[in-house]
Structure 1
Amino acid sequence: MTTIPDSYLTSRSRFQAHLADLTSRWPATRLTSLPLVVDPNLTTDVITCEPSVSKDRLLVITTGEHGIEGFLGSAVMELFFEEYVHRLDPQTTGLLLIHAINPWGMHNWERQNSSNVDLNRNFFDGDFARLKQTNPDYPALMPYFQPQEPLNNLAGSKLGFIGRTIRNFAVFGPRRIREAALMGQYNHPEGIYFGGFDRQPETDTMMTVYRQGFTGYKDISHLDMHTGYGPRDQMTLVTSPYEKRPAAELAACYGTPRVAAANPDEFYTMQGDMIDWEYQLAAREFPEAKFFAATCEFGTYGDSTIQAARSLRITILKNQLNQQGGSPEAAEWVKNEFRELYLPSESAWFEKALADSRKMFDTVIGLFAVK
């Protein structure tokens, strides 16, 4: 029975335990545990299954780029192991399965890494100094996004957020505020959605894993598990601006009725996105391969303007607590609200997430299945 693990360590052990079963079908299977620089006891774990005859297809599934989101990702990965992996042809299909891209974040129930960097704003090959010119609205909104006092008066902070939100909505409008908050920023290391001053070790690790893992395959599909964005009752397949196929075609191919492109009209703009970087990698180093990658976003709060404001509120308050400290009462409330944003406690939400995952895997695995 598929369950959500209670900790990063439990999740890692469960993932590693599938090695023997995979090896029985893919003899050329290996587990690579890549230790984190800041804490070698925490690892990103990579299972690679090489096909025995020809590298026709590669299925990539990744979890935990935003640490806390890895708990639902772990359950989806377990569902794949339990119900779908046996339907693949080990002669022609390879697997690249990655547990906890951001192990520190998952272990500590945080979204960012230990340096407060959002790894999905950090995949960038060029000079990070150039990124300082992006996100022009963030400096003006910094007092709103980054309160400088400890989070002691929780009730006052909630009321103050409402007032500041109304004022900023009047000046900037909700769309510009959303873009400024979510795009990624490269100047304020204590701020929200900080993309870093340079590439993080976790990012370098994943770049190497993808370069090595994609080599030789004719058809590559990557599904990256996330939570937070979108309607509460429907998984959204979020595609890269580099993906040229229309939404209707992708919905049919990947078994989800809701497809959104990562742009301001359908999702939001991102700098340093992992999947965008993969598309560039594939075009540059694997031009003969057919390539597709997308984020599977399992919505939590919902996608109304009110729910988006609630999400931004807890993002700001959580960062304020991390950077400035706060009272035990505030810390407990923020911890619970933050977990609800990325891992709702309602059992019906989890069951719907599994149902959406099954629908997706039924379609995707059909493209890869034994004929």
Structure 2
Amino acid sequence: MLNYCKDYNELKLDLDLNLRKLKSMGYHIFIKSNPIYQNLSNDKIVIKSKKDVKNRLVISIGLHGIEGYVGHASLISFFDNILATLSDETEVVIYHGINPFGMKHFRRTNENNVDLNRNFSTNKFTSENIEYKKIEYFFTPRKYTTKKTANLGFYGTLTKLIAKYGVTALKEATLLGQKSLPNGVYYSGETYQESTRYMLSEIPKILLYIEKVVWIDLHTGYGPRYQMSIINSKYEKASTKEVIEKINYPIVLGLNAEDFYDVDGDMLENIYFIKNKLKSKCDLYATCFEFGTLGDSTRKMIESLKATVFENSTHHINQSPKFKEYSNILYKEQFLPSSEKWRVKAEKDFIQAITGIINYKQI
């Protein structure tokens, strides 16, 4: 079962404790902390291969801040159940707490309200989100008086928007990333953030002078509640059907409009972009593990949007203690499900998926 740390400080201590444990078992580990904002930093952890390195397994955690708590718990499960099974020629690189501000303050966004998985632009931030601009007022932070009036206002406005623009337009508005409302949800920013610049400097180091690279980016929120999804890049050459068969895992999606949602500034897409730019010869498989939390029905997706909108308003505008507590509960449950049943199944899915990929890529 995945066990969460209660806060950022406990998480950092738990990471240190587990790395010390691995060192005592004979693993050669190198750790480098990288300052990001004020006294917050992310960590790069390298677990050296036992023989000359030919393969590299990368695990990235906390790009979406709060989601890093499930990511960290999954990492500990990896240490306990998977690490010892890797090839002697495989090096492990972990990017832990990419967005330390979001992890510390239980937010998806960073210190500038930027969604970092919309910030890895490959077109100099020239993309426009036309649908978002149409309904920008819906995402503008506001003061709420009570839980009841907040819910009535949210659902009432949402119903009118769907009637006027349709569900597809709403999905595009909320998920494509936007740069017109800096204090709104899914803000991409207009320049690379500190965490983004750091990761962009690291990606070439991962891709050069190596035969195989498997990169797994851990997230929570999207998909069926009791089934983690594997989200492949649109640049992945193998078909989703082929990957499902090769890794023996039930849900593998492609990052495109039909299977998932189109995202501008996605980190995994940028990894492939950089690989092509470098003309790297490595065999790259970069993917996302997405732990579904609330569910994937339209009703559950609306509940997810509500939690996101309420949390964003609570962050930017002072709310009553009762509403703030209500908003925090909704938001944490969206990314850190409290259900023991969920945490048991999440670990089972994680182990099945990563084991299948390791065997598939023979690393």
Range class of TM-score, shorter chain:
over 0.9
> 1:160, 1:222 → 2: CA distance?
42
SS at 1:242 equivalent? coil
4+ runs deviating over 6 angstroms: none
> Matched residues in 2 for 1:217 and 1:52: separation?
15
- Secondary structure of 1:292's counterpart equals strand
Equivalent in 350, 358, 362 of residue 343 of structure 2: 350
Task: Determine the structure 2 residue equivalent to 1:86.
Answer: 84
**How far did 1:141 drift?**
0.6
Matched, 1:48 2:7: no
Q: What is the alpha-carbon root mean square deviation over aligned residues? A: 1.8
Aligned to 1:183: 176
Letter of the aligned partner of 1:58 in structure 2?
A: R
The whole-number CA distance in structure 1 between the counterparts of 2:27 and 2:55 is: 14
Structure 2 match to 1:104: 101
Contact 1:57 1:368 in 2 (8 A): no
Measured after TM superposition, the shift of residue 285 of structure 1 is 1.5
User: Could you tell me how far 1:168 is from its partner in structure 2?
Assistant: 0.8
Helix, strand or coil at the partner of 1:47: strand
- After superposition, residues 231-270 of structure 1 pair within 5 angstroms as 231-270=224-263
> Does 2:115 align with 1:118?
yes
For residue 205 of structure 1, what is the aligned residue in structure 2?
198
CA distance in 1, matches of 2:354, 2:21: 19
Give a deviation string over 1:289-342, Cα, whole Å, max 9, x none. 111111100001100011111111111111112122211111000000000000
Higher mean C-alpha displacement, 47-56 vs 267-276: 47-56
1:71 to 60, 66, 69: 69
Give the Å deviation of 1:11: 1.8
Q: 1:125 to 1:266 in 2, by over 3 A?
A: closer
CA shift, 1:2, in A, is: 5.2
- Matching residue of 1:9: 9
Q: Which runs of 5+ in 1 are unaligned?
A: none
Deviations 1:112-159 (A, max 9, x none): 00100000000124423x23xx11111111111224x31223211101
Change (3 A) 1:286 1:25: farther
Which amino acid letter does the alignment assign opposite residue 103 of structure 2?
A: M
Q: CA deviation at 1:105?
A: 0.4
Secondary structure in 1 aligned to 2:33? strand
Q: Which of 111, 136, 144 is the aligned partner of 2:138? A: 144
> By how many angstroms is 1:209 displaced?
2.0
Give the TM-score normalised by structure 1.
0.93
Gap regions ≥5 residues in structure 2: none
